[in-house]
Amino acid sequence: MPKHSHLLLAIVCLAVTLGADCVPQAPSGPAGNGDTQNPPQDQRQPQNQDTTPDNTPVDTNPPTTLDDGHKLYNVATDFIAYAEQASADDAAGRRTKWNQMLQAKYPAFFSDVIYRGNTGQDLENYKTQIIDQFWNEIVPNLDTLKQVNSTASQKLLDGRTAFKAAFPDFNPQADYYLTVAFSFHGKAVEVAGQPALALGLENFSPDGPDLDITIAHEQFHLYHFATFSASGGLYRGVWSEGMAVFGSTEVQPGYRLSQYLGFTGSQVNSMYDMFYDLADDIRSNLSSTDQTLKRAYLGAEANDTWIPPGSGYYIGFYVVEALANEGNTVAAMARVAPENISRAAGESPALTNRELDVIRLVAQGLPNKAIALQLGISEHTVKFHVGTVLGKLNAASRTEAVALAVRAGILPL
């Protein structure tokens, strides 16, 4: 198969048999044991808090009740209080206060999200690791965390309002958690079996759009996952992340692509240079459930493969942008059934109107930059469309693509 036949674009040209497909999400891992308690219905169990005159505990950091009855929990405030109250303690004292001030107050959240569903000795080992990480990495930057946390609740509420304005049918039925996460920036999760959105505030700066963009990105996941599950084949993760990146551009417009992706400029340039190879590889592995491959494409951490970390976000974004340029709305694409995204890789659908525009200009000898200017789209998008055309025509080069298009009657002689 020629290098450029990346029928990832099976995805693009499935262009769009729209339809809803409600797929239940996989349940969260079991609640941890050890000193993790089974989660009650109400997670608010204040420990070491102020008391009333009759010694009834008072939660000095209660959750905010949202307009739909769900809650916004600011766990980060409790992490900050823990850092201040346990600063003079030894390791055993810090662990005791961790259990009292954090774990006991939010048992289900800690079990399912902070502890990642670990149980038994795995839980104890991981808990020791993140407590050490908190004191070694988070506490030295506590002032920055306080700054971010001081505006985070309002940013989340404002972001929720902006998202509802962009997608009026958004009805997340989810709680929100502002926290120290120890790994992720933002994540759509489940807490005690219920949808939730968690934001790791230690990963954000007090200035700049990164928190606002992440709020939009993760809320898009809540919106999308009402009818779609990212669990399963590689294509599901690529599609869901591409949709979330593109969706965040509609809710928080005006920033660079690297900011929406959360990558540096050099990372984006590397992915651009490898675009065809990455798209070819994804196309060849659309249904793969190999965890190493999925983490390489969808994880932020360094990996032992040739794949730049997080490349699936980049490729997914251009898949969605190409569909949007064909007139498909984001709201409609969010309801595309999985089988219409993963159409058999051997199919070779007809060229779309935009792809016809591109191949006509390629036939005139125009480079990608000139095509982008003429069509009013980005050079990245032109490169994406050229690759799609090469794949559909089974061509190894632009010249061969033009010749095959003429032979097929797509272009005039």
Query: Mean pLDDT over residues 235-251, rounded?
Result: 95
- Look at residue 17 and tell me whether its pLDDT is greater than 70: no
The tokens describing 386, both together, are 């050229």
Q: Report the range of poorest mean pLDDT among 32-36, 94-98, 233-237, 271-275.
A: 32-36
Q: Which amino acid is at 211?
A: L
Q: What angle do CA 280, 378, 233 make, to 5 degrees?
A: 30
The helix (run of H) or strand (run of E) holding residue 185 is: none
- Look at residue 373 and tell me whether its pLDDT is greater than 90: yes
List the helix and strand counts (H, then E) for the chain. Answer: 19, 5
Cβ burial, residue 303 (10 Å; 0-12/13-18/19+): middle
- Look at residue 404 and tell me whether its pLDDT is greater than 90: no
Q: Report the range of poorest mean pLDDT among 14-23, 353-362, 387-396.
A: 14-23
Report which of 265, 282, 310, 234 is spatially closest to residue 387, judged by C-alpha positions.
282
Q: Report the range of poorest mean pLDDT among 151-165, 209-223, 256-270, 372-386.
A: 372-386
User: pLDDT (tens digit, 9 = 90+) per residue, 330-358?
Assistant: 999 999 877 677 543 334 456 778 888 99
Greater model confidence, 338 or 107? 107
For the chain, give the percent of residues with pLDDT over 90.
59
The pLDDT score that the predictor gives to residue 57 is: 58
User: pLDDT (tens digit, 9 = 90+) per residue, 263-293?
Assistant: 999 999 899 889 888 888 888 888 889 999 9
Q: What angle do CA 160, 24, 289 make, to 5 degrees?
A: 105
Report which of 340, 302, 298 is spatially closest to residue 315, judged by C-alpha positions.
298
User: pLDDT (tens digit, 9 = 90+) per residue, 123-134?
Assistant: 999 999 999 999
Query: Mean pLDDT over residues 377-388, rounded?
Result: 86
Give the span between the Cα atoms of 295 and 307, in whole angstroms: 10
The pLDDT score that the predictor gives to residue 341 is: 72
- Look at residue 8 and tell me whether its pLDDT is greater than 80: no
The pLDDT score that the predictor gives to residue 106 is: 97
Greater model confidence, 392 or 254? 254
The pLDDT score that the predictor gives to residue 394 is: 80
The tokens describing 393, both together, are 């025509």
User: pLDDT (tens digit, 9 = 90+) per residue, 151-182?
Assistant: 999 999 999 999 999 999 999 889 999 999 99
Give the span between the Cα atoms of 299 and 180, in whole angstroms: 19
The tokens describing 240, both together, are 């869901």
The per-residue b/e assignment along 162-193, b for 16 or more CB within 10 angstroms, e otherwise, is: bbbebbeebebebbbbbbbbbebbbbbbbbbe
User: pLDDT (tens digit, 9 = 90+) per residue, 304-320?
Assistant: 999 999 999 999 999 89
Give the span between the Cα atoms of 273 and 25, in whole angstroms: 35
The pLDDT score that the predictor gives to residue 19 is: 37
The pLDDT score that the predictor gives to residue 347 is: 40
175, 218 contact by CB (below 8 A): no
Question: Which CATH code fits 7-22+229-407?
Answer: 1.10.10.10
User: pLDDT (tens digit, 9 = 90+) per residue, 21-63?
Assistant: 333 333 333 333 333 333 333 443 444 444 445 555 578 899 9
389, 401 contact by CB (below 8 A): yes
317, 378 contact by CB (below 8 A): no
Calculate the average pLDDT of the chain.
84
The pLDDT score that the predictor gives to residue 413 is: 64
User: pLDDT (tens digit, 9 = 90+) per residue, 57-81?
Assistant: 578 899 999 999 999 999 999 999 9
The helix (run of H) or strand (run of E) holding residue 13 is: helix 10-13
- Look at residue 7 and tell me whether its pLDDT is greater than 60: no
Which residue ranges make up each domain of the chain? 7-22+229-407, 64-224
> Which backbone phi and psi does 84 adopt, to 5 degrees?
-75, -35
